[in-house]
Amino acid sequence: MQRFWMMVYNVVAIPGFWLFFRIGALFRAKVRRGIEGRKGLLDRLEGEIRHLKRKRRIWFHSSSLGEFEQAKPIIAALRKSATDADIIVTFFSPSGYEHARNYKLADLITYIPFDTAANAKRFLDLARPDAAIMVRYDIWPNHIWELARRKVPALIANATLRASSMRLRWPFRSFHRHVYASLTSILAVSDHDLESFRRFGLTDTELTVVGETRYDQVLQRSEEARTRHVIPRPLLHRRRVFVVGSSWEEDEDVVLPAFRRIARTDPQALMILVPHEPTVETLERLEVRLTYLGMRTIRFSDLNDYQHEPVILVDSVGILVPLYQYAHVAFVGGSFRQGVHNVLEPAVYGIPVLYGPKHENSREAIELASRGGGFVIRDEKECLRTLDRLFTNKKLRERAGARSMALVQENIGATERFLEYLLPLLNRVP
């Protein structure tokens, strides 16, 4: 049956994917960058890989930046426990590759080639990994089958699978059964995920629950962020700070009018607004919108001229995590659009976290709300009411913040458990 699915995948699916990408490139710059970045990829790799001189090689693959963040604590730990290994990191997404290509703990960062059988064979001929770690979702069948043929240990880290996933429906279930069965092990986030993967007919030797390295990563990033004083503390003296992180226009339609009503009666209220994409167009749109709402604003890059404006508009990238440390309350964007972004980034600082109704993509958001550390808001009025309560009721705010912090503290340690599984596999390498 595996031969049948290999034929279907390579004869039907791969040409279909390629056509989809070519059409997508006509309309989306991101898709074009992904195609352009792969031109001559394997020829370039042939020269770049020659510089890797250590005894062993470990290959990490992530779809994009979010998944790579989950790989970082594992990579950092391997740098201490497997010092004789070169680390190769690949991405499918151009945004992930572009943001991570200067990551210092990896020896080589590149795109994964398009998943044809020939590309998979040549890539693995060049990379010669002693172990392969796929992060979360992004599983490319030809690469997996080729790893299995070469008897290279291949794992999924932070594996998750909803019971409602299309992968569990016919005919995708049969196809994915033969892909997952080619892996050495699937290291699942939770018992619920493990039970979902069992529906592919996988055995207990192929399935293990180790938890979510995302908790380890947010804790590590928060500790590093506390040393970064991106806003002078005197500027925040006696202020009640509301950090709005990774916002989209749909989020801003709810949050900005609600905060305006808070700021009208509370001169100490301060919003730090961090748009998901701080492009020139986005920043100008927000400045016009905030002016229309009657709120003075200043850009983060102009803070030397700060005059008690109630809104700081962040026009820099890479500082959201350090900014959360200043918040009394945070809002996480995406939750009125396609799905909430990372709620753990503010939760790790022990603060209440607000987000909209579109949060089912995040089990952490669901858990946070059930514990009372997260607050789901559905409209402007609910945002106003919740933010006002948290700003004015210190005991409520501290109780909710403690529950946010507890969620993180109770779930750290997945990196160590992952290494307990991976290192024995590596030690078998001659």
Give the strand pairing for 154-159 and 207-209. Answer: unpaired
Handedness of CA 346, 347, 353, 357 (dihedral sign): positive
Question: What pLDDT was estimated at residue 163?
Answer: 86
Rounded to an integer, what distance in angstroms lies between the CA atom of residue 78 and that of residue 348? 24
Pair of tokens at residue 358: 């579109």
pLDDT, average across residues 312-329: 96
Average pLDDT, the chain: 95
- Maximum CA pair distance of the chain? 70
Q: What distance in Å separates the CA atoms of residue 62 and residue 157, rounded to the nearest whole number?
A: 10
Query: Using one digit for the tens of pLDDT, what is the confidence trace for 56-75?
Result: 999 999 999 889 999 999 99
How does DSSP assign 294-354, residue by residue?
T--EEEGGGGGG----SEEE---SS-HHHHHTT-SEEEETTTTTT----SHHHHTTT--EE
Which residue, among 105, 107, 100, 62, has the nearest Cα to 86 in the 3D structure?
107
Q: Kind and range of the H or E element at 389?
A: helix 380-392
The alpha carbon torsion through 200, 206, 209, 211 (nearest 10 deg) reads: -90
273 three-class SS: strand
Residue 76, amino acid: A
d(CA 404, CA 209): 23
Tokens of 110: 């590149």
**Can you list the domains of the chain with their CATH numbers?**
54-211+413-427 (3.40.50.11720), 228-409 (3.40.50.2000)
Contact 77, 133 (CB under 8 A): no
Is pLDDT above 90 for 50? no
- Residue 383: the pLDDT is 98
Place of tokens 């005197």: 234
Question: Is the N-terminal amide bond of 278 cis, ω within 30° of 0?
Answer: no
Helix 213-225 to helix 394-409 angle (10° resolution) is: 120
Number of CB atoms found within 10 A of residue 375's CB: 21
pLDDT band at 214 (very low <50, low <70, confident <90, very high): very high
Q: What is the pTM of this model?
A: 0.88
Closest CA to 351 of 381, 321, 380: 321
Q: Quick one: pLDDT band at residue 323, thresholds 50, 70, 90?
A: very high
Per-residue model confidence (pLDDT) at position 149:
97
Phi, psi of 159 (to 5 degrees): -70, 135
The C-alpha atoms of residue 134 and residue 136 are separated, in whole angstroms, by: 7
Task: Find out whether 123 and 113 touch, Cβ atoms under 8 Å.
Answer: yes
First to last CA, the chain: 33
Query: 73-95: per-residue pLDDT in tens?
Result: 999 999 999 999 999 999 999 98
Report pLDDT for 429: 65
DSSP label at residue 89: E
Long-range contacts of 256-261 (CB under 8 A, 24+ apart): 256/289, 256/290, 256/293, 256/295, 257/293, 257/380, 258/380, 258/381, 258/383, 258/384, 258/387, 259/295, 259/311, 259/387, 260/293, 260/294, 260/295, 261/384
Encode pLDDT of 155-190 as tens digits: 999 999 988 899 999 889 999 999 999 999 999 999
Look up tokens 């790893």; give the residue.
147
The residue type of 138 is D
- Are 235 and 303 contacting, i.e. CB atoms less than 8 angstroms apart? yes
Confidence of residue 100 (pLDDT cuts 50, 70, 90): very high
pLDDT at 428 over 90: no
Q: What percent of the chain clears pLDDT 70, i.e. is strictly above it?
A: 100
Burial 89-112 (b: 16+ CB within 10 A, else e): bbbbbbebbebbeeeeebbbbbbb
Q: How many CB atoms lie within 10 A of CB 427?
A: 9
pLDDT, tens digit (0-9, with 9 covering 90-100), for 223-271:
999 998 899 989 999 999 999 999 999 999 999 999 999 999 999 999 9
Helix ranges (H only) for 109-190 are: 117-127, 141-149, 172-180
pLDDT tens digits, one per residue of 406-422: 999 999 999 999 999 99
The model's pLDDT over 397-410, given as tens digits with 9 standing for 90+, comes to 999 999 999 999 99
Give pLDDT, residue 430. Answer: 59
